[in-house]
Amino acid sequence: MPELTLSDVTVHYEVTGDGPPMLLIAGMMSDCASWAPLIPHLSDHFTLICPDNRTTGRTTPWDAPASPKIWAEDARALLDHLGHDRAHVLGHSLGGYIAWALASLAPERIASCTMMASAPLHPARNAALFEGLLSVRRSSAPPDTWLRLFLPWIFTPALYQSPGAIDAAIAQSLAYPYAQSAEAMAHQLAAVAAADATLFHARPEVPLHALLGEQDLLIPLADAQAALIDIPTTVIKGCGHAPHWDAPDQVAHHLRHFIGGLAS
């Protein structure tokens, strides 16, 4: 089991594929397993490096200090550990925040930065939603309740038209042995709420790209485009907040096209 031991945390990570290094940074409540649908579409083109961010997965302890800057510093340390001077970075949701922070702190290490379903925004509505979900998790409600409330924010109505798809997704989530606990979720939410916003005031001096879901409820398309003005943006039609699950082939296509264009 590959691990990177730092002064206050042991970071679990996974590496697969072959080609130029690409760091995949997961979003809120997610770990390296969240990239499973996308990996087969990219592993023939890139060496994919997938860490579990602090508070998630097999990275321990779950309550180590956390913030976008600290997560970004962990990512830079992982590149050092693996011997990569530079890497492409893809960040989903909160992972896009972390990717932006990493590109701001160490632009010389970033070959390109793609934010997926992400923008330098921290909507108050989203903070309220996650706090509400946390309250439900901590209540006496059945353990699937908070997931049934959360999934409509992540996926489009198309998923609900497929018989049994929601129940299957929830069963898979509940069975996952490394799922983030309610306590770790609270720790992650507090880290995001206390984030230093100055990291996001200036555009990083690296090649930037955004992949946005047309039907994203958490980071609405119009809001993301306004925050990412002058940054090349690709809108993936029919997708919600998880384009790498809704349309992994399209995500991979657009990502390869963007990176391929940098070399021309």
pLDDT digits (tens, 9 = 90+) for 85-110: 999 999 999 999 999 999 999 999 99
Instruction: Give the CB-side neighbour count of residue 53, counting CA atoms within 13 A.
Output: 34
CA distances from 53 to 40, 57, 179, 237, 240 (A): 22, 8, 12, 29, 23
pLDDT tens for the 264 residues of the chain, in order: 799 999 999 999 999 999 999 999 999 999 999 999 999 999 999 999 999 999 999 999 999 999 999 999 999 999 999 999 999 999 999 999 999 999 999 999 999 999 999 998 888 999 999 999 999 999 999 999 999 999 999 999 999 998 899 999 999 999 999 999 999 999 999 999 998 888 788 899 999 999 999 999 999 999 999 999 989 999 999 999 999 999 999 999 999 999 999 975
- Residue 192, token pair as written in the block: 């995001």
pTM above 0.85, yes or no: yes
**Alpha carbon distance, N-terminus to C-terminus of the chain:** 38
The CATH number, out of the four listed (3.30.160.20, 3.30.830.10, 3.40.50.1220, 3.40.50.1820), of the domain defined by the range 3-262: 3.40.50.1820
Instruction: Give the CB-side neighbour count of residue 261, counting CA atoms within 13 A.
Output: 11
182-225 residue pLDDT tens: 999 999 999 999 988 887 888 999 999 999 999 999 999 999 99
Q: What's the order of all strands across the beta sheet hosting 3-5? A: 3-5, 10-17, 47-51, 21-25, 87-92, 110-116, 208-213, 233-236
CA distance 132 to 167: 22
pLDDT score at 258 = 96
The answer to whether 207 touches 262, Cβ cutoff 8 Å, is yes
pLDDT score at 264 = 55
pLDDT score at 211 = 98
pLDDT score at 263 = 74
pLDDT score at 96 = 96
- Residue 26, token pair as written in the block: 């997961």
pLDDT score at 251 = 98
The answer to whether 109 touches 85, Cβ cutoff 8 Å, is yes
Instruction: Give the CB-side neighbour count of residue 199, counting CA atoms within 13 A.
Output: 28
